[in-house]
Homo-oligomer: A and B are copies of this chain.
């Protein structure tokens, strides 16, 4: 037996996919849809909730239900790591463009609003294992919110971890007021004699936790991309672990893998 709300959702979905309703169009009100389909309002709402979870429509309180338009995406390219490394040893003036974020987005530092917060924590189990240090080792936890100046919602939430003893040789690295640091993390590590030899990135996706949805201003149903970036130095030691939370609807990750020639 076909469920009423699925019948309604199917019909609306079809009309959207067929282009009868274009991006940005407003759907009829819930009461109108209820009249049209001869169903109760909650049943219509079930259908709309389903379409919202599928990312097809956006329900906005007091305004209406709209066909969602594809978001403009920010591309995050793994070429950023080599790009940042190339700049890490340059003079401060040449590193003025901060880190790799500007490289990705094509924006300059003026267009970005940047918020950093440092905190000292003792290593929990998973981080200690990843760094290869004892549980409880002092870590520097650095959290970043990067906004586009023209938008309210940040496009990434980043938490980076460094082993405190590794960077303590340069006290400036412990002071959050030095952010944004010209040249990014790779330059920071360079000041304490560390050269990054390779970067590993692990990507998964999951639904956002409520606070993530709030901070990234995610519409209902939009997942987050979770990226754990691990940087290794030339001795294969883990020197930085960063957890990056990205809005799934505005982010594209680009990875290029060159292959050896025959």
| Alpha-carbon distance between A259 and B231 when the two chains are bound, in angstroms | 10
Complex partner residue of A221 from B53, B210, B253, CB under 8 angstroms:
B53
A54 contacts which chain B residues (CB < 8 A)? Answer: 207-210
A258 contacts which chain B residues (CB < 8 A)? Answer: 197-198
Residue of B nearest to A55 (CB): B207
| Alpha-carbon distance between A262 and B233 when the two chains are bound, in angstroms | 12
A55 contacts which chain B residues (CB < 8 A)? Answer: 206-207
Complex partner residue of A53 from B42, B202, B207, B249, CB under 8 angstroms:
B207
Interface string of A75-114 (1 = CB under 8 A from B): 0001001100100010000000000000000000000000
Q: Which of A28-36, A154-162, A222-230 contacts B (4 or more CB under 8 A)?
A: A222-230
Known: A53-B221, A223-B223. A203 touches B252 (CB 8 A): yes
A199 contacts which chain B residues (CB < 8 A)? Answer: 256-257, 259
- How near does chain B come to A190, taking the closest CB pair, in angstroms? 9
Decide if A81 touches B257 in the complex (CB within 8 Å): yes
Known: A53-B207, A54-B210. A201 touches B254 (CB 8 A): yes
- How near does chain B come to A218, taking the closest CB pair, in angstroms? 11
- With A82-B260, A198-B256 given, name 13 new contacts (CB 8 A): A53-B207, A53-B221, A54-B208, A54-B209, A55-B207, A197-B261, A199-B256, A201-B254, A202-B255, A203-B252, A204-B225, A204-B253, A205-B224
Q: CB within 8 Å of B: which residues of A? A: 42, 53-55, 73, 78, 81-82, 85, 89, 195-210, 220-225, 234, 248-249, 251-262
